[in-house]
Structure 1
Amino acid sequence: MKKVIVSSMTAITLLFGSMTTSFVSQPHAVEAASNYKQKAISEGKKVLGTPYKWGGTTTKGFDCSGFIGYAFKKAGKTLPRTTAEIYKKGKAVSKSNLQKGDLVYFQTYKKGPSHMGIYLGNNEFIHASSSKGVSITTLSNSYWKKRYIGAKRL
């Protein structure tokens, strides 16, 4: 009888122990995701004012996807090189559900996503603007508002 009870207790402990581990590890995964996104935002803010440069991926000059790639790489996450390639990643997010670190996309000079930025919260995003370099802009800005095509969460 003792063997049955001990065996049952061991099985229950293993079962609930593994369930607890999976429930506990889930928040850590979410926390890790938000940490690298917050770090990407911080890294992006460090280079505010950097001039725009077509094809640029360094602090000497960035294009939009070069800036995003730089900020996320500094945060420990490597992304594809172009806006179109990055757009294929992640999960679509509605504008009303944007979170800090989500990527926002715009249609500018060609059909489909051709510009992007990192959502900062409070209706603002950071991006490498061809006219202002790395800067913070609101999604309600008349130029960007009409060109917004969506957002993705990595």
Structure 2
Amino acid sequence: EASAKLKDLADTRAELAKKKKEVQSKLGSAQKLLNTLTAQEKAALASEEQERATRASERVDLGNTKAASGRAGAAFAAAQSKIGSPYVYGASGPSSFDCSGLTSWAYAQAGVTIPRTSQAQANAGTRIYSQSDLQVGDLVIFYGDQHHVGLYAGNGQVLHAPRTGTVVRYESIGNMPFQFGVRI
């Protein structure tokens, strides 16, 4: 019986090694193709991706989730008014933002001062560990080192300033490693 299990394991390993080789080959081919593109073609591809993400953000269904409080609702409404604003590292509004710049600016519009960085914002209120307990306007902390933050928008969506080359937009909360929420 053990010999049969070992043979099955060896067969599975061989099959996985074959699949890995195929994937690496396809990845190598894709990289070669990408390397043949001019800077202008690469910029056009990046622009198309950004436009697709922005269009998807405009069509997002937020459902009927209610705001956590008047302040959270006001902060969320302020952030919504900045959809389409460009991401700029270190910016905190009113015309461009990084992730924590957007959230601190939005809460400031609601009359609430929160810390400027995502790591400090992670400790600014009551932690919520279950995504099902999140309410609109709650801060949502991502990644183990807590380097990204957004505002919960309802229906599994977050409103955030993702990264350089993007704009303030909605995105599925599942696209990043959720750590916890923070209710201000």
* Unpaired segments ≥5 residues, structure 1: 1-32
Equivalence for 1:135: 169
Structure-2 residue corresponding to 1:64:
99
C-alpha displacement at 1:96, in angstroms?
1.8
Query: What is the number of residues matched between the two proteins?
Result: 115
Q: CA deviation digits over 1:58-81, x for unaligned, max 9?
A: 133101000001111001101111
CA distance in structure 2 between the aligned counterparts of 1:103 and 1:66, rounded to whole angstroms:
12
Separation in 2, partners of 1:67, 1:120: 14
Q: Deviations over 1:65-103 (max 9, x none)?
A: 000011110011011111111111211112121111111
Residue 39 of structure 1 pairs with residue 74 of structure 2: yes
1:113 corresponds to which of 146, 158, 164: 146
Residue 96 in structure 1 maps to residue 132 in structure 2: yes
Task: Give how far 1:40 is off.
Answer: 0.7
**C-alpha distance after superposition, 1:93-132 (max 9, x if no partner):** 121211111111111xxx5100000001111110111142
- TM-score, structure 1 as length reference: 0.70
For 1:77, which of 93, 112, 116 is the aligned residue?
112
Structure 1 residue 138: Cα displacement: 1.2
Q: Which runs of 4+ in 1 moved over 2 A?
A: none
User: What is the SS of the residue equivalent to 1:62?
Assistant: coil
TM-score (norm: length of structure 2)? 0.59
Q: CA RMSD in A?
A: 1.3
Instruction: For residue 140 of structure 1, give the secondary structure of its aligned residue in structure 2.
Output: helix
Query: Is residue 179 of structure 2 the alignment partner of residue 149 of structure 1?
Result: yes
Q: Quick one: which of 69, 82, 86 aligns to 1:51?
A: 86
Partners in 1 of 2:181 and 2:120 — Cα distance?
14
Aligned sequence identity (%): 34
SS of the aligned residue for 1:56 comes to coil
Q: Which amino acid aligns with 2:170?
A: I
